[in-house]
Structure 1
Amino acid sequence: MTTEQNSPAIAGPVERRVSRPNATWSLSLDCECPSCGEYVDLLEYPDFWDGRRLDACEHDTERSLGVDVVCPECGHDFEVDLNY
């Protein structure tokens, strides 16, 4: 075999690998408590997911309407409709 037969089919400059920064997804589920008026991210509280079968960004489904929540600041129970 000749050298030409062993060379790659497409020859060109070797691309230098450059380290790219990472982009991190960030989600929140924000609401205002109707009792104390505190603006809270419900996802910051681990109890939000207990017993729930929701997908991230789920909205306008039977599971995402009238969701029972508890304000982590004052303990008030109320319902929310999840929106995206």
Structure 2
Amino acid sequence: MKNQLDILFVLKVMDKIRKSGIKSEKGYVLEGIEAGTGYDEYTVYLATPQVTLHIFFHNKYQFEYQKEEHFKGFMKSLELINRNY
């Protein structure tokens, strides 16, 4: 399945996680979503135990997940953060 992703939306959510979340070992956590950057800060990620989203340079991205239901729950969590913070 090819996932269509609004990169700007994800980056806004990441900013909200960084501003409102709790600092963790790798980044910040809010509502069960961890957000962080790669060592070069050109790569960012959002992750739960079931889903990881990497955003690379030039707005390329890659999802890692096993079940469609996990992906859908992840996207709902991003929408919840965007709406509530």
| TM-score scaled by length of structure 1 | 0.25
More strand by proportion, 1 or 2? 2
TM-score (norm 2): 0.25
